[in-house]
Structure 1
Amino acid sequence: YHADTFFNDLHKTLKADFIMANPPFNLSNWGQDKLKDDIRWKYGVPPAGNANYAWIQHMIHHLAPNGKIGLVLANGALSTQSSGEGDIRKNIIEADLVEGIVSMPTQLFYSVTIPVTLWFITKGKKQKGKTLFVDARKMGYMVDRKHRDFTDEDIQKLADTFKAFQDGTLEEVKGFCAVADIQAIAAQDYILTPGRYVGIEEQEDDGEPFDEKMKRLTSELSDMFKKSHELENEIREKLGAIGYDI
Structure 2
Amino acid sequence: MITLSYMCERARPFNQSGWDEHGFLREGPFWPYGLPPAGNANFAWAQHVVRKMSPTGRGALLLPTGAASTTKGAESRIRAALVDADVLSGVVELPAGLIPHVRQVLVIDARDSATNVKRGRRAVPEEARERIAATFAAWRGAPGHAPYEDVPGWCGSLSRDELAETEYDVLPSHHVAAPLVPSVLPDAPERAADLTDELLGLFEVSRRLEDELRDLLGEL
Q: Shorter-normalised TM-score: what interval? A: 0.3 to 0.5
Q: What TM-score comes out, normalization by structure 2 length?
A: 0.42
Higher strand share: 1
Higher relative contact order (CA 8 A, sep 6+): 2
Q: Which protein is bigger by CA-based radius of gyration?
A: 2
TM-score (structure 1 length as normaliser): 0.38
